[in-house]
Amino acid sequence: MVVVGLLTVELALGEGSSLKDKRSVVRGMLDGIRHRFNVTAAEVGRQDSHRAAELAFAVVSADRRFANMVLDKVLQSVESDPRVEVVETSLEFL
């Protein structure tokens, strides 16, 4: 059985004054999480807002518990970044 886990995270960004500042924070976060947790990651919403972002992370596994564990660690990593505040999250398995 194949399990796809999808985590969506809405963020409020701190003191960034431009879209360039926001993209630097988001790109760095996405790249770091991709490499650390071997997940797919993308900015999926709020691209034109310099104070908010919507990110999505996906993992494919044969084990739902493993996929859940990976996405929990991804969320912990996002929450530990002092440059952002997690506003809302959504976790689903397909």
Helices and strands (H and E) in the chain: how many: 2, 4
Q: Mind listing the domains of the chain with CATH numbers?
A: 3-93 (3.30.70.1120)
Q: Whole-angstrom Cα distance, residue 43 to residue 92?
A: 17
63 Cβ neighbours under 8 A, 6+ residues apart: 3
**pLDDT value at position 18?**
85
Q: Is the dihedral of CA 18, 30, 77, 47 positive or negative?
A: positive
Q: Looking at residues 80-93, what average pLDDT do you find? A: 96
Model confidence pLDDT, tens digit, residues 2-58: 999 999 999 999 776 688 889 999 999 999 999 999 999 999 999 989 899 999 999
